[in-house]
Chain A
């Protein structure tokens, strides 16, 4: 459904979503691609589901059981590389 996305483009969208949705805008500008999301309590079971829904709407990527792990959701960087790879695969398939 979507064109392939570079990890950087994906990261930018994810950072912006997390800032506005979970961090009151992050006025100090501290959130980065390597900020631990689960470890710092930014993501929990409930808003992880929101992230999954956002990823689906924004990038057309549905994450499977095996992909929802502490490793993939560790940081924006890890999540972006997964989503980016999946947009590439999904659009090649088409």
Chain B
């Protein structure tokens, strides 16, 4: 039994060298070839000075090469840090600095001209151009060693790296590979960016089983019809995405108007509540298993639920279910006691998928409190209720509305501000209502420029509206409900498809 992530590829390459590991529009890469590239890149990283215990930041579009670089970093005992390829250079630089990364792996043409990367060691790892340095002797990582860092929305622009060990990741991968009985015939669709933890399932459960991961092309990622075509043409057996992407496929993509692909055997969703009407439609369309997975990045996946008939008769989303991956989960009431069926509390997780702590901060000891409110169902499973604070989730990013308001208030021309989150799924967005001081005439680009100096892009409201005043209740509080209704009217400031 392996106790690290790199052995998954070594084992797959030995057992199934000719099986297709990764499929993109450009190429099909076998396990044997992926293994060869991982060695190639391990040699190149080593030559660039990367040693055991170092971090390597990956900032480039998805490809088989990027997966090979992840494995290369692990082979020399380093950890990788995947960053959204669309993250602005300044934010990437902040992550490089926070992680104390030894090198940044980015396309040379992209990195070379960026002042933000001054003083950062950059390597361009591309299997078409890298020579053949001698691969270093492989390092045997232990279960508790750091495998990768996933950066989440730290407040006020400070990035927070979630430390995931080999053991954390393997506990999840093994549980799901077993639950699914994943095998070589499977084709996993990869929709999520590598910087999101959903991609861990796609890449590594496939690797553990000798299956294929088919990467969704970026121009298809939010194009409903193309996503539906992808599902059919690639003979996907396991689909995993946030519900909003499935909603897009079911809506404009008219997924359910045609027959379900015969190959499809599991549809998984996670990251936000999936409106039950859509789940009902899926259940009527396909015989594939429908699985709701739950867990903040800090716990990977800690509970799950296979959708059953009784779930479809309710008017609320499918429960987040019961503990998995060897974890123990419970709902903690405000007085610290454990909630019983019918009662509510904050979901707490303890077990093998709980992270090691945030990079550079205190180690996570003991159970992790998620900040998510749940109700205990009669069968002991959990219903997700929402957050206990002002935190909202927009396309996977956790956002504290208070942080957004604080950043807006720091602009000298801003007199008053209210920030709300509205819409479901992909249409969910931040709307800020801003009152300008008299005799100021700045527009939203000026305001955005100000915000960009303080917070990451996903904390900048997609929809900024200037208003003469904010509606208030009789007692003088900002009428958030009124604003939410107004925000939902979509005054044409954003371009989302209907």
Give A contacts to B, CB under 8 Å.
20-24, 26-31, 35-36, 38-50, 52-53, 56, 62-66, 68-71, 73-74
Contacts and interface: CB of A to CB of B under 8 A. Distances in A.
Contact of B445 (A30, A38, A69): A30
Contacts of B496: 46-47, 50
B457 A24 contact: no
Given A47-B495, A56-B219, 18 more contacts: A21-B494, A23-B493, A24-B491, A24-B493, A38-B457, A39-B90, A40-B452, A41-B460, A42-B448, A44-B457, A45-B86, A45-B221, A47-B496, A50-B496, A64-B26, A66-B107, A73-B86, A74-B88
B367 interface: no
B495 A26 contact: no
B446 interface: yes
B87 A45 contact: no
B25 A65 contact: yes
Interface in B113-130: 113-114
Given A42-B448, A46-B222, A70-B89, A27 B443 contact: yes
Contacts of A23: 444-445, 493
B461 A68 contact: no
A66 B124 CA distance: 13
A30 B457 contact: no
Interface of B: 24-26, 59-63, 84-92, 107, 109-110, 113-114, 193, 217-219, 221-223, 395, 426, 441-446, 448-449, 451-452, 457-462, 465, 491-497
Contacts of B109: 71
A43 B222 CA distance: 14
Contacts of A45: 84, 86, 193, 221-222, 395
Given A40-B460, A41-B461, A69-B110, A48 B446 contact: no
Given A39-B88, A48-B86, A52-B218, A24 B495 contact: no
Nearest to B459: A41
Contact of A65 (B59, B63, B445, B465): B63
B223 A30 contact: no
A50 B495 contact: yes
Contact of B458 (A22, A44, A66, A69): A44
Contacts of A24: 444, 465, 491-493
Closest 5 interchain pairs by CB? A28-B443, A41-B460, A21-B495, A30-B445, A49-B222
B219 A62 contact: yes
Most interface-central of A20, A39, A63 (chain B CB within 10 A) = A39
Contacts of B459: 41
A46 B223 CA distance: 10
Given A38-B457, A41-B458, A71-B109, A47 B494 contact: yes
A52 B63 CA distance: 19
A28 B413 CA distance: 15
Contacts of B426: 46
23 contacts: A21-B495, A22-B493, A28-B441, A28-B442, A29-B443, A39-B452, A40-B448, A40-B451, A44-B457, A45-B222, A45-B395, A47-B462, A49-B218, A49-B221, A53-B223, A65-B217, A68-B218, A69-B60, A70-B85, A70-B86, A70-B89, A71-B113, A73-B86
A90 to B, nearest CB: 16
A31 to B, nearest CB: 6
A74 B91 CA distance: 13
